[in-house]
Each structure stands twice: as structure tokens, then as C-alpha cells.
Amino acid sequence: MGRTLNNKVGHEFKDMGERLKLGEPPEQVFNRACRHYPYPAFLFFVVTIRANMSRGGQLKSVMARLIRVLVDSRTLEKRKMH
């Protein structure tokens, strides 16, 4: 997602991914991101990821569903504006 969103949130996702790859604890990475973006939608995203990780769920499938919800929401907003 950090590669396709060319904005501040996209850069944050990219940074989060790089920090996780380097072995920084996920809790630390997510806490830092939440301080940078204390918005309800972002906090919901982080809570969902944390819950999934704690249950040993498949992160890839959760991310795919979240991305689909975000894309659908954006599409609806664009339709409302036109």
C-alpha cells in the first residue's frame, strides 16, 4: 500500500513496512504510527491488525479485505460528488 499511495499516509505505511522488516517490534511500529495519524479510520486499521496478529490470523487476507473496504468507500464518495 505504501508503494501505491503517493501521500503522507502512503509514506507512513512504507515506513511501517520497512521498520517491521528490520525487526522492530510491531507494537512499537504501530504506536508510533498512531501518534502520527490519530484519526479514527487509521486507529481502527491498527486495532484490526493488532487483533489479527494476536490471534495468529492471516495478515494478507485481512489486509485484502480492508483495502477492498477502503476502495469501495472512496468509490462511493466520488459517486456522491458527481
The pTM of the full predicted model, rounded to 2 decimals, is 0.62
Number of domains observed in the structure of the chain: 1
Domain that holds residue 44: 8-81
Residue 25 within a domain: yes
Residue 22 within a domain: yes
DSSP string, 52-81: HHHTT--HHHHHHHHHHHHHHHHHHHHHHH
Q: What is the pLDDT of residue 54?
A: 80
Q: What is the pLDDT of residue 5?
A: 59
Q: What is the pLDDT of residue 2?
A: 43
Q: How far is CA 76 from CA 45, 62, 79, in A?
A: 19, 21, 5
Residue 30 within a domain: yes
**Average pLDDT for consecutive 10-residue bins of the chain (82 residues)?**
63 86 90 91 86 76 74 80 74
Q: What is the pLDDT of residue 1?
A: 47
